[in-house]
Amino acid sequence: MRLSPVVRFLSSNGFYVHIKNTTPNWQPLLSEGEKIIGYPSSLRSLVNLKYLFNEEVSTLIGYLRKLVGTQHPLLKLATNMLESPPKAAHSRSVLLLLISKAAGIPQKNYQEDMIKHGIHEHQRQLAELIEMIHLGILGHRGIVDLKENQSDLEQGNKIAVLGGDYLLSQACGKLAEFRKPKVVETIGNAIAELCKADFYLKEKQSLSSITEWYQLTALSVANLVASGCRASLQLVDHAPSFQDQAYYLCRHIIFSCIMYNEISQYSSVFSKDAPSLTLYGTVPINRSFPYSLMTKSNDETVTFEQLNNDKLLDDCREQCFKESSKALTLLEANFDQKSSATALLRSIIQRIQEGLSSKTVI
């Protein structure tokens, strides 16, 4: 299956390609999560350009107009960000706030008006900042290598650099307003890991082991949200050991979801419909989860069809089941079992396990 350059860019930077009727439909669970945390995902407020850019919005729109017709990946990214509802599912802030709500808030002297639906206002602000950081990094990754006669793409590169810098600087400034040095340190380390992922993506054009898949997925996707969960619990003064548990719960859930989505891609009947964008789905073959488990020679070219192998996919399901079981163990041992957030997180994990056992797409 061939992917367009724009789709390859999106799929390698957090927007995973969804082939209709072949990957899980997470939208109902995400919608339920939004109800539980008490408001629509932070992504929808973040793409409010007035909120982000204030008086700079007219200048930004002028620059974006110049990109029309250039096929610059940044334009496609902006389009998916601004659609309502967005094609790229807004899972990061929802997952962060679900885990925060499941963790609860210690009995301290917090003002009641700062806590709504079991979530502190600062935790909600942090979730928005995580989305802002993610969007800023995506902007930087939208830079394309220019060749001769491609001067029309240069403007897009400038916007990618400046836009990404602006979002990251705004997020870091807002983090400082929490007056929690540990929170700033935690998120700062997560941003550094996201930057490492850029070098990893360039160095590792193909994965040779499951260890490399975990490293790439952690750096480029999981660690930012997991660090957000840790920082969220730091904001309300949970114990460091519980902060670690929230961090690893988030990682295990993200790993499980990505594994399951990629397994579903290779084990489903392929559709000839044009791809659309959603939570997770197809990544480039040589960086996919099944590819990382496949026994192959260094110079072997692996096709999409070769990964649709019963023995290989069974091994993938076993690994995914182990990952989801780790998440379930953490959730049931350490979090509020009466919380609706805990119930939804458990439902997500169990849906994955049911799909693995039945070899169907949820």
Q: Tell me the DSSP string of 160-196.
A: HHHHHHHHHHHHHHHHHTT--HHHHHHHHHHHHHHHH
Contact status, residue 361 vs residue 23, Cβ threshold 8 Å: yes
For residue 78, the model assigns a pLDDT of 60
Calpha distance 194→221 (Å, rounded):
8
Question: Is it true that the peptide bond before 85 is cis, omega within 30 degrees of 0?
Answer: yes
Task: Output the domain CATH number for residue 22.
Answer: 1.10.600.10
The predicted structure's pLDDT at residue 360: 74
Query: Position 181: which residue type?
Result: P
| Total tally of structural domains belonging to the chain | 1
Domain range for residue 76?
A: 5-358
pLDDT tens for each residue of 243-277:
999 999 999 999 999 999 888 877 654 333 333 32
Residue 149: burial class (beta carbons within 10 Å; 0-12, 13-18, 19+):
exposed
**Could you read off the pLDDT of 84-102 as tens digits, one per residue?**
444 444 688 899 999 999 9
| Cβ 345 vs Cβ 32: under 8 Å | no
Three-state DSSP class for residue 276 = strand
Residues 248 and 278: their CA atoms lie apart, in Å, by 24
Place of tokens 């993938």: 316
% of the chain exceeding 70 in pLDDT? 70
| pLDDT per position as a tens digit, 9-23 | 334 444 333 333 356
- pLDDT: is 145 or 77 the higher one? 145
Antiparallel, parallel or unpaired: β 115-116 and 17-18: unpaired
Range with the poorest average pLDDT among 137-146, 192-201, 322-331, 334-343: 137-146
Question: Computed from CA positions of residues 200, 201, 206, 207, in that sequence, does the dihedral angle turn out positive or negative?
Answer: positive
Better pLDDT: 296 or 215:
215
pLDDT at res. 40: 54
The predicted structure's pLDDT at residue 318 = 95
Predicted local distance difference test score (pLDDT) of residue 89: 46
User: Which pLDDT value is given to residue 166?
Assistant: 82
**Bigger pLDDT: 31 or 329?**
329
> Is residue 317 scored above 80 in pLDDT?
yes
Q: What type of residue sits at position 18? A: H
Model pLDDT for residues 275-311, shown as the tens digit of each residue: 332 333 346 778 788 888 887 666 567 777 777 788 8
User: 79: pLDDT confidence band, cut at 50, 70 and 90?
Assistant: low
- For residue 149, what pLDDT is reported? 59
Residues 256, 296: Cα–Cα separation, whole Å: 24
> What value does the mean pLDDT take over residues 108-131?
87
